[in-house]
Structure 1
């Protein structure tokens, strides 16, 4: 029998037995600290944390207090105290400080082996527990110190999301953002002071959330149809978070309802998706959407999607295609560029179709896109005007003429090459914007 081999120790230099004292990170909830944590806090010579944590905790009278506002000077103070002979540092944080918390910044500065982390129950877990819902299938996004549009887009795209809010990105702003994407059904649950004397857990529609004033510290759950246990598949989950991205994309044209073959062909859609880069946290416009095939595929890949279509039957067809694929697409019945004015700014835009007004539509989209615009067209005459519109908006442009031939059967169990119509795929990328930006964990 093979003797048992103990696991290798973690990488990194060990902390000497008489070396620097560890930096203790205490996750705080509304209840009193357990005796062991209270003893660590009582021995501290420096205590850092948000102002509300410092005011609520029994900080020793002789300990220096450091408010975690701007992080760099606070970390400098922690470093100086931790290096001092006899210095003992305690950092107070909410819930689990390793979950969108201060542990990341402390670990980057001091190394994880210098940290002694004692977490409490994460606020997200507590909020879902109040509703009696599992949360292993929820997408969690933080708006603290990050661009809030990522959080808004997660709420638009996913039917079970939790937002760690921040000033200027709270329930009112989330509600207002959802009101700007019609056709996406959501309800909000606002949880504040969880477990504390002033705990409130309220379910409100987005319009009410947008109109109210809320406490400064809260958590928002954004829930859509089927977000309860009865709405999902049975059995055990293997991966936490949103469902994984589909194994394939650039679906065949017959995967979508369309009129007279007015659907972006799979080969063209594959290249367009590669340039658009849809992912969780991003917002993609599909302008001149037709069947909505691009919007639906972007939504399948986790992005929030808005489809703009000028015909009523086309708008209905897009909604039907989204339902058939189990995704949420906000459908706007209107003509670009006028219909774009009320929409939230996109990360990427797909413009399909043609017509004499195409350059004006491209110009309006390029002025608003944070990252990328992709345009498909057949008429060679309009290529210079589209490229000029992209460049005028400050985008770096490129493009290809895409020509493909599919295998088609012939009598005698043989095949031939059936050529599809050539299509120009043009794009513009904003200088300095990452090739993939946003995301659930920015």
Structure 2
């Protein structure tokens, strides 16, 4: 049997937990904090593979093993690895208080509506994008993805990006504060409230337990039925009447429906809406859980996008500037929607194709723009497909009859990043 004990967030380890253990595995600080049986072998966790191999030797001989872990070892913890290797029936898990629960308790906030994301041993961009999109996030940190790196990324998301235009917050607040909880449960525990810029300027050391990223104006939220990330919207491709817009300059819902399907916005993604106009695409991407940046050159358009985001209860970063110049300081997107047109369209598509990780979608009213946009996508390493969307909506006529009113046709192109093959590369 493998006894897995969560410790390290305040509750002392019961003395009987280690009684009879012949192998004790854990982090150095956990091992140093307990008195081990004299006959027990001790393994300090570093690389998992050697520790798992030693555990297997003991388990195979029915010799008792204790694994010490932080907080709740079943929450982004070692239980998953142990259950995969040895089977859940071989585990006796004794959960402690997770670092996330402890951190929210220290600041007096509920966390059933928090999104929890791990940046430990992972690319931190997912955690950063979740923090951009949601008002209450807990980030489990690790080397190279701690408070400084998180703060540096969010400082540019909610402040002035280097080389770019000034984003206008599209919510009542928009600004984030970071709560850095270090050495939770120890005598040197620290819980500090800092701005992203302040977090970026410090060396936080190895004792950070968790970072909370909060929009203080929206941290309480409402009563929840399902914990975690908010449920997705009941519908999308909203009617144009759901958005403030100027002279019908808005992506029509038929076009928006297919564009959203090709963009695939989801939790952890970053989407650009370039030539955003009313920001309808950016707002819908944010409603689906993605972080969204809207780029718009018209000053009244910037205000309109902010109002639309606020009306739908989401956050959108709005950059006032002209593409492609305004794109230079923005973080790389997973997906890009490009609306509008004009002589600069090929250059905009090219710039976006160089930066997008997954897909670029382009909407155009003019046939003349299609070849150049398609060439820009394929030249940027994308496969390219597209359709001409023509729709007719029901419209009333006098006498209680109905006709079909044709909408202006729109060309929609989408490019999907072609995976780079390593075929033929020397290994």
- Give the TM-score of the pair, scaled to structure 2: 0.91
Q: Deviations over 1:287-340 (max 9, x none)?
A: 111110000111111111000111111111111111111111001111111111
1:10 maps to which residue? none
Q: Is 1:29 matched with 2:16? A: no
- Cα gap change, 1:23/1:151 in structure 2, threshold over 3 Å: closer, same or farther? same
Cα distance between partner residues in 1 of 2:55 and 2:390:
61
Match of 1:224 among 206, 215, 232: 215
- Cα gap change, 1:44/1:432 in structure 2, threshold over 3 Å: closer, same or farther? farther
Q: Shift of residue 227 of structure 1?
A: 3.4
Q: Shift of residue 157 of structure 1?
A: 0.5
Match of 1:258 among 239, 245, 269: 245
2:177 maps to which residue? 187
Q: Give secondary structure in 2 for the equivalent of 1:180.
A: helix
- Cα gap change, 1:398/1:33 in structure 2, threshold over 3 Å: closer, same or farther? same
Match of 1:161 among 131, 134, 137: 137
- Cα gap change, 1:32/1:248 in structure 2, threshold over 3 Å: closer, same or farther? closer
Cα distance between partner residues in 2 of 1:306 and 1:77:
49
Q: Give secondary structure in 1 for the equivalent of 2:218.
A: coil
Match of 1:336 among 316, 323, 342: 323
- Cα gap change, 1:250/1:109 in structure 2, threshold over 3 Å: closer, same or farther? same
Question: Counterparts in 2 of 1:40-439, with a 5 A limit?
Answer: 40-83=17-60, 85-182=61-158, 183=169, 184-218=174-208, 219-229=210-220, 232-233=221-222, 236-432=223-419
Q: Deviations over 1:353-378 (max 9, x none)?
A: 11111111111111111111111112
Q: Give secondary structure in 1 for the equivalent of 2:89.
A: helix
Q: Out of 243-252 and 209-218, give the one that drifted further.
A: 209-218
Cα distance between partner residues in 1 of 2:45 and 2:377:
43
- Give the TM-score of the pair, scaled to structure 1: 0.88
What runs of 5+ residues in structure 2 fail to find an aligned partner? 159-168, 421-427
Q: Shift of residue 32 of structure 1?
A: 6.2
Q: Give secondary structure in 1 for the equivalent of 2:260.
A: helix
- Cα gap change, 1:422/1:99 in structure 2, threshold over 3 Å: closer, same or farther? same
Q: Shift of residue 415 of structure 1?
A: 1.2
Cα distance between partner residues in 2 of 1:353 and 1:314:
13
- Cα gap change, 1:357/1:73 in structure 2, threshold over 3 Å: closer, same or farther? farther
Q: Out of 51-60 and 186-195, give the one that drifted further.
A: 51-60
Q: Out of 62-71 and 166-175, give the one that drifted further.
A: 62-71
Q: Shift of residue 222 of structure 1?
A: 0.8
> May I ask how many residue pairs the two structures share in their alignment?
405
C-alpha contact (below 8 Å) 1:165/1:217 kept by paired residues? no
